[in-house]
Structure 1
């Protein structure tokens, strides 16, 4: 419930602080006194968009703060989900700077307007002419039927199932779309994959092939150099090995004359052995090396294949080609296995559809059972509101489409006159009739749902006498289970309030102020008398006012 409302620097309000209680609260005031300003300020703290023109003093910020008792609203999950501190007495604040910047807070934690608005929807239901049009919407009409049918848990479960069903449906559609595109590319991808598989792709292969190519391509030069090297080492006259043989003999003779000569001998012996071994290696390489045009052609072919593939795929080495090969293998494999995946997903979707169908059928049956009771309650209540011939024709038909509310197609038709033809509410009901129907429906909902604070903004416009008296009684009855506000011009309605507030204007200096105060018992009598007979209050008006209050 709304426990307190504080408004600073908004429209004609300089400063206003009002405490409210449970039950039925009536708000009255002359036309233009500022009742709409009060609602406007309240709408800002509930998350509506701000307008700089709403600042009374353009150089100061506007602050609107509301305190709500929210213990019975089961809002702890909302606070947890949005990382907010939960308090049974929750304070919601909105600030509008002269610059136009707006800030919102819930229990002193800054929040976005969307979060504030979402919370606001759970705190106050402000009934206005715009909201009356909600009455003509199928979802709202089904909400009323579901309230009577006690479908809350069943509908929640159905909506969870529907969310999962749509997720699977989307996954299936993605698979089918992927398959459609993949089939177009499958042959080409398979060709590319086979092409890459036929290439000698492994790390280092290109470097090895390039080295082999250099050797095979220069074999004659290599043989010439090997032969020259072998001759320098092994020539009988001036070969290095022959010269080292003579040097070895000299060193051998020197070695007995001291350690320094023996060390020199050892070194020359090693040099001779190494030179002799190198001469043999030159000989072996010469004998084992020959021109091989076929091997050269094969190496050149493999290298060219690698170069062509790198150019084709826009890469610079074999490792990148290997990566492309592996990716293509996954694509080709996935395409070839898509049929199985799609079949499995279709079976999963069919199973979910069966579950959904059972839940939607349960909703349909429970709704169908309570429609006669809803029709009876609506027509009975409207009869007491001056619509004795009001009649409803409500029917449900099961459709094929899974909607958020089930598969039901609802026909909610209305006739205000006896023998009149039925038609859609928005086409056949007048504004006054819609208001009375909405009040009746809200009263029915109040019996079955834990509704937030209800604020009716002149829902009684266009009615008078006994009908207005009955509307007041309906709101009074609703207030036994919830906090109800009524902004009204009718004394019959205002007299039913547990509390009565008056909105009025005062002139101070060069400006005008909107004020609001709670009326005492005697002030209520005077206010009701003025509403009955105008500013010139007569004794009869005072007596009538006292009678209404009693």
Structure 2
């Protein structure tokens, strides 16, 4: 419940601090005194969009702070989900800076307006004339029946399954789009893949082929140089091998004369052996190297294929071509597996649909069973509010569409007069009738919904006399289960409050300020007398005011 409200530098409010208690509180004041300003400030701290024009002093920031006692209302999960520190005495604060920027805090932690609004909706239900129009909307009407039917868990199960079903449908649509797109490219991707698959894509292949191409292209020159080299090495008289053999023999004779000669002899022996290996390798190369136009053509063909593929796929290496080949293979495989995936998701969607249909049917059954009770409660309560002939016709009509609330379209029709035609509330009910119907519905909801605080903004407009007494009594009864505020112009309603607050203006000749204070019993008598008979207090007005309070 709301325990304290501070408003600084907002509209006509300079600095306002008010404490509130549990039970039923009424807020009164002359027209134009600033009750709407007070309500506007409270709305800001609950997450309403800010307007720079609301700053009283444009050079100073506006601060609005509200303290709530929230321990009984099970809000720990909401705090946890938004990474906020939970405190049974929670403080909501809103700041509007001269620059126009707005900041919001919960227990001194910065939050977005969405989070502030999300918590605010769980703390206070501010009923305005605009909200009365919700009464004519199908979703609100279903909310009333669901509250009485205790459908919260059933509705949660339905909405959870609805999210799953819609997700499956979106996934199915995406898969079918992907399949259609993939099928357009399937033939081309398959052609590209086969082309790359047949190419010799291995690391270093281009370098190997280029080396082979150079060798095959220059085979005549290679054979000529190898033959000349072999002649130089092996000529019987002047060949390097024979000369080196003679040198080896000479030095071998010296090897016994000391380490230096032995080392030199060993070195010549190593050179001789290396030269023998070179002769053998040259001979092997001579045998291997031969003109091969067919092989040259094959090597050239492979090289040209690789060069063409690199250009076609804008790849600079064979490794990049291999990656493109693997990617194409994945695409082709994915296209082939899409049908299986579509079948799987289709089965999931159909299962969700069957379960949704069952859950929606359960909701429809529970709502249908509750409709007569809601009709009886509404008509009985409105009879006490001067509408003895008010009658409702409540019908639930199943549709083929899965809505957020089920598959029911609610026909919530009203007739104010006996024998009169039924019609929608929007067309049939007057503003005063809508207010009374809304009050009755809120009083019914208060028994089933755990809401800490509700604030009625002139819900008693258009009624008077005994009806206003009854409306005050209804709000008084509601306050046994929740904190109730009523902004009112009617003394009959104001007197029903456990507490009464007055909004008024002060004018010191320079500036006008809106103030608010809690009235004592004596002050309440005077306030009620003025509401009854004007500023000139008559004995009868004072007596009537005391009678109302008693």
Could you say which TM-score interval applies, normalised by the shorter chain? over 0.9
Deviation at 1:509, TM superposition (A): 4.1
Name the counterpart of 2:271. 271
SS in 1 for 2:86: coil
SS in 2 for 1:231: helix
User: TM-score w.r.t. structure 2 length?
Assistant: 0.97
1:3-22 residue pairs with structure 2 within 5 A?
3-22=3-22
Deviation at 1:530, TM superposition (A): 1.0
Deviation at 1:256, TM superposition (A): 4.3
Name the counterpart of 1:519. 519
Deviation at 1:470, TM superposition (A): 1.1
The answer to whether the aligner puts 1:306 opposite 2:306 as a matched pair is yes
CA distance 1:80–1:234, shift in 2 (3 Å): same
The answer to whether the aligner puts 1:45 opposite 2:64 as a matched pair is no
Long gaps (5+) in structure 1: none
Deviations 1:476-507 (A, max 9, x none): 11111111100000011111111111111111
What is the rounded CA distance, in whole Å, between the counterparts of 2:58 and 2:270 in structure 1?
104
Deviation at 1:151, TM superposition (A): 0.3
Deviations 1:121-167 (A, max 9, x none): 11111111111111111111110000111101111111111112222
Deviation at 1:257, TM superposition (A): 4.0
1:244-283 residue pairs with structure 2 within 5 A?
244-283=244-283
What is the rounded CA distance, in whole Å, between the counterparts of 1:419 and 1:292 in structure 2?
112
Deviation at 1:446, TM superposition (A): 0.7
What is the rounded CA distance, in whole Å, between the counterparts of 1:257 and 1:362 in structure 2?
116
Q: Which shifted more, 211-220 or 411-420? A: 411-420
Deviations 1:56-110 (A, max 9, x none): 2222222211111111221100111111111111111112222222221111111
Name the counterpart of 1:430. 430
Name the counterpart of 2:73. 73
Deviation at 1:342, TM superposition (A): 1.2
Q: Which shifted more, 94-103 or 487-496? A: 94-103
SS in 1 for 2:238: coil
CA distance 1:455–1:214, shift in 2 (3 Å): same
What is the rounded CA distance, in whole Å, between the counterparts of 2:61 and 2:403 in structure 1?
45
CA distance 1:232–1:503, shift in 2 (3 Å): same
Deviations 1:315-348 (A, max 9, x none): 1111111111111111111111222221121112
What is the rounded CA distance, in whole Å, between the counterparts of 1:187 and 1:361 in structure 2?
48
Deviation at 1:468, TM superposition (A): 1.0
Count of residue pairs the alignment pairs up: 550
CA distance 1:259–1:454, shift in 2 (3 Å): closer
Name the counterpart of 1:540. 540
SS in 2 for 1:448: coil
CA distance 1:514–1:301, shift in 2 (3 Å): same
Q: Which shifted more, 97-106 or 79-88? A: 97-106
The answer to whether the aligner puts 1:465 opposite 2:454 as a matched pair is no
Deviation at 1:424, TM superposition (A): 2.0
Q: Which shifted more, 189-198 or 272-281? A: 272-281
Name the counterpart of 2:319. 319
Long gaps (5+) in structure 2: none
The answer to whether the aligner puts 1:393 opposite 2:393 as a matched pair is yes
What is the rounded CA distance, in whole Å, between the counterparts of 1:155 and 1:468 in structure 2?
36
CA distance 1:102–1:237, shift in 2 (3 Å): same
CA distance 1:522–1:272, shift in 2 (3 Å): closer
1:15-30 residue pairs with structure 2 within 5 A?
15-30=15-30
What is the rounded CA distance, in whole Å, between the counterparts of 2:39 and 2:210 in structure 1?
85
Deviation at 1:538, TM superposition (A): 1.3
What is the rounded CA distance, in whole Å, between the counterparts of 1:12 and 1:280 in structure 2?
110
Deviation at 1:408, TM superposition (A): 1.0
Deviation at 1:246, TM superposition (A): 2.8
